[in-house]
Structure 1
Amino acid sequence: MSEESDPKPSPISDKAQRVLGVLVEKAKTTPDNYPLSLAGLVSGCNQKSNRSPVMDLDEDDVLLALDELRERGAAREVQGNGRVTKYRHAAYEWLGVDSPGAAIMTELLLRGPQTIGELRTRASRMYKLDDLETTKQVLKELEDKQLVESLSPPGRGQTFAHKLYTTQDRLYLDARMAKQAAASESDAGSTATAQPRSAVPSESKSAVDQLIARLDKVTERIDDLEARLKALES
């Protein structure tokens, strides 16, 4: 695929991220059960392993996420055996990625930001990544396509995230990363100077905590509105 025709990142909701990740994952890890029925998708979205955060989606949540993905050309509805409606992904075409790129994108969709080592280990269940250098090369290709970005400086512990977050979710992610960075700096400073944690200035930590609290409230209001909308539709 030429560089000019590579698709650009298209933000999708957290539920759509989870559904797309599950579709790609199951196509690779359980091909005999793919494409997935609605029940299979709900189960895959809510499973407790290989997921962060753990979600509790119902059929309406998944159907709305599928509608969102189909509008973007990232998922398709197909007729399964016994005329049961099933669903398959179109992630390769939509994102313009190959198998190793799809494996890493899937892990980022299912688990959120991760280090290079974590991505190599976890993505290898879908596509074998021989070493860290191979993983770095795949990440570089995804960065060039504007699908992935680094959230921390190069070196040990460098963390990567996909770029399909909505604006609100990205603000929440930035606040979380800032809080983690502040905690790491506090720990390093305490170790170096043998001072208690309280000696570290608290202004920046307080501002981050306030931002996270505000984002939590916004998220709760959106969830409440979605629940009311479902009630009205039914």
Structure 2
Amino acid sequence: MSDESAPGSEPLAKPVSATARRCLGVLIEKAKTTPDSYPLSLAGIVTGSNQKSNRDPQMNVSEDDALLALDELREVGAVREIQGSGRVTKYRHAAYEWFDCDSPGAALMTELMLRGPQTVGELRTRASRMHPFVDLSATQAEVDSLVSQGLVFAVTPPGRGQTFAHTLYTPSERQHLAAKVEKQTGSTASPPASTPAAAPSPAPASAANESRIDKIQQRLEDVSTRLEALEQKLADWEK
């Protein structure tokens, strides 16, 4: 079966550990951005988990950590172990079936697993290296679909800068995230509604700034993706 297979009938996704989410995110990401190096060996997964670009927070995953995380992912049906060339054990994701979503949804889930809560604009820019999103409306529609499936939830109230997160956090992590958001929103509460006459004036400049920021972020993402490919090749050569 191809990694781009049709979604399954019932979503299987459930909360897993932070290391398991990082390993799963790496497998989906590398399948899309460096297909020549996929499926991944244990060394490749460790390298991808600990890389400096496109990761938040930074992690220091050991091979033992990764093996435990892969066992966890296999048990829930999110990862499969296969025999690679030269008898090297390799791993591939089963995210499309596990999430019950297609390529755009998997790309967004991957970014949320690798970088944590983000706005729709950030998701569009960052996930475009794995799947092209034509505009913010298309990205928002995909996020809304993931919300309806119970895979994503809104971290902050509706409005400009609304942030979304995946639902794979463990209960203790959800409590920590809720407390963090409550503290942040408490110190930066939403301002009162502006008067009707004052609101429209800054919109054009704001839209132009957002467009420029999106382009800059996309260039940075392109550079990061190239660096990831080089890091993966070096890891393979060293192995």
Length-normalised TM-score, structure 2: 0.75
Q: What is the rounded CA distance, in whole Å, between the counterparts of 1:2 and 1:48 in structure 2?
A: 32
Question: Is the helix fraction higher in 1 or 2?
Answer: 1
Q: What is the rounded CA distance, in whole Å, between the counterparts of 2:118 and 2:60 in structure 1?
A: 22
User: Alpha carbon RMSD of aligned pairs, Å?
Assistant: 1.7
Q: Which residue of 1 aligns with 2:147?
A: 143
Q: Which residue of 1 aligns with 2:209?
A: none
Q: 1:83 to 1:9 in 2, by over 3 A?
A: closer
SS in structure 2 at match of 1:77: strand
Deviation of residue 155 (structure 1)? 1.6
Q: What is the rounded CA distance, in whole Å, between the counterparts of 2:188 and 2:12 in structure 1?
A: 33
Q: 1:2 to 1:68 in 2, by over 3 A?
A: closer
Instruction: Tell me which amino acid in the other structure corresponds to 1:74.
Output: A
Query: Which ranges of structure 1 fall in alignment gaps of 5 or more residues?
Result: 190-234
Question: Which structure is richer in relative contact order (CA contacts within 8 A, separation 6 or more)?
Answer: 2
1:47-126 mapped onto 2 (5 Å cutoff) = 47-126=51-130
Contact 2:12 2:98 in 1 (8 A): no
Contact 2:18 2:169 in 1 (8 A): yes
Contact 1:9 1:146 in 2 (8 A): no
Correspondence for 2:184 among 180, 186, 199: 180
Contact 1:18 1:45 in 2 (8 A): yes
The runs of at least 4 consecutive aligned structure 1 residues that moved more than 3 Å come to: none
Contact 1:8 1:146 in 2 (8 A): no
1:23 aligns with 2:46: no
Deviation of residue 8 (structure 1)? 5.1
Which deviations, in whole Å up to 9, do the C-alpha atoms of 1:13-51 show, x marking residues without a partner?
Answer: 011010000000000000000000101100000011100
Q: How many residues align?
A: 187
